[in-house]
């Protein structure tokens, strides 16, 4: 069965898209640790990150780098934190999180955002993606 992220990539479930190419899709996390919390997902469905080939892993990191650069420009923050977990959704994804404290990396403190705020954040990040 297709993962929830595959359904998002195919447009069967809506998302706040930040960036996309033929291999990857980046969109805002629906339950963000902080404003701008973004997930970068390979379109090819794989469960665990270290089951990717070295080439796929490198390509994922390169794409995540470009998304992180856009996040740094769009979202005022101390730095961009990066994390890979995958316990909730078994489809490889990199969390890129604009952080100001360790609490922002702990997946406990959550930000409540309106759909207008999600739309605006996604547009700001997307505008800075190169
Ligand atoms: P993990 O699998 O790394 O533990 O966490 C999965 C992440 O995906 C969580 O931060 C969760 O909020 C996010 N997530 C789960 N379902 C959806 C969804 O349908 N849409 C979006 N945008 N994010 C989701």
- Let me know if 41 is exposed, middle or buried by CB neighbors in 10 A (0-12, 13-18, 19+): buried
| 85 in contact with ligand 1, CB cutoff 6 A | yes
> Is the minimum distance from the CB of 49 to ligand 1 under 6 angstroms?
no
Ligand 1 centroid to residue 72 C-alpha, Å: 21
**Contacts for 124 with CB less than 8 Å, ≥ 6 apart:** 74, 75
Instruction: Write out pLDDT tens, residues 36-59.
Output: 999 999 999 999 999 999 999 999
Q: pLDDT for 3-24, tens place per residue?
A: 999 999 999 999 999 999 999 9
What DSSP state is assigned to residue 90? -
For the entire predicted model, the pTM comes to 0.98
β-bridge partners, 96: 38, 82
Does the Cβ of 25 fall within 6 Å of ligand 1? Answer: no
State the Cα–Cα distance between residues 86 and 92, nearest whole angstrom.
7
Percent over 70 (pLDDT), the chain = 100
What are the chain's domains? 4-128 (3.30.428.10)
- Write out the catalytic residue numbers: 93
Q: Which atom of ligand 1 is nearest to the CA of 95?
A: 3
Ligand 1, residues 13, 17, 85, 89: which to mutate, most atoms within 8 A of Cβ? 89
Q: In terms of Cα–Cα distance, which of 116, 91, 117 is closest to 37?
A: 117
């Amino acid at each position: 069965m297709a993962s929830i992220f595959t359904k998002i990539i195919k447009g069967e479930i809506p998302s706040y898209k930040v960036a996309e190419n033929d291999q990857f899709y980046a969109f805002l996390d629906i339950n963000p640790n902080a404003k701008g919390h973004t997930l970068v997902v390979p379109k090819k469905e794989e469960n665990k990150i270290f089951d990717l080939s070295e080439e796929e892993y490198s390509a994922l990191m390169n794409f995540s780098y470009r998304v992180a650069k856009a996040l740094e420009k769009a979202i005022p923050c101390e730095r961009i934190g990066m994390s890979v977990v995958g316990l909730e959704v078994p489809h490889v994804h990199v969390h890129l999180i604009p952080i100001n404290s360790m609490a922002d990396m702990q997946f406990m403190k959550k930000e409540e955002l309106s759909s207008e705020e999600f739309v605006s954040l996604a547009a700001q990040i997307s505008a800075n993606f190169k």
